[in-house]
Amino acid sequence: MLMRTAAEQKVTPPLVTSGRLDSTPEKPLDRLNRLFQAQLTAYQQEPDTPFMIRCSRLDRLLKLIETHEADFIAAINADFQSRAPQETRLAELLVVRGSLLHARRHLKKWMRVRSIRTGLQFLPGVNRLMPQPLGVVGILSPWNYPLQLSLGPAIAALAAGNRVLIKPSELTPRFSELLERLVHSSFASDEMAVVNGGPDVGAAFSRLPFHHLFFTGSTAVGRIVGQAAAANLTPVTLELGGKSPVIIDSSADQAKAAHRIAFGKLLNAGQTCVAPDYLLVPTGTAEQMASHLVRAMSKMYPSLNGNRDYSAIATERHWQRLRSLVDEAVSAGARVIEVNPANERFDGTTRKFPPTLVLNPSLDLKLMQEEIFGPILPILEVDSLDQAIQFVNERERPLALYWFGTDTASRNRVLHETISGGVTINDCLWHLAQEEQPFGGVGHSGHGVYHGEWGFRTFSQEKPVFYPSDLSATWLLHPPYGKVFNVLHAILKKIV
Mind telling me the catalytic residues? 239, 273
Residue partners of 268: CB distance under 8 A and separation at least 6: 83, 87, 91, 144, 145, 311
HSE-up (13 A, CA, CB side) for residue 482: 3
Upstream peptide bond of 480 is cis (omega within 30 degrees of 0): yes
Residue partners of 381: CB distance under 8 A and separation at least 6: 280, 281, 282, 283, 284, 285, 286, 360
First-residue to last-residue Cα distance in the chain: 47
Phi, psi angles (nearest 5°) of residue 238: -115, 115
Distance CA 230, CA 209 (A): 10
3-state secondary structure of 186: helix
308, 82 contact by CB (below 8 A): yes
Nearest CA among 391, 406, 368, 376 for reference residue 250: 406
Residue partners of 189: CB distance under 8 A and separation at least 6: 35, 38, 39
Quote the radius of gyration of the chain (alpha carbons, Å).
26
Phi, psi angles (nearest 5°) of residue 253: -85, 105
- In order, the DSSP letters of 462-486 are EEEEEE--TTSSGGGGSSSPSHHHH
Residue 455 CB-density burial (10 A; 0-12 exposed, 13-18 middle, 19+ buried)? buried
3-state secondary structure of 284: coil
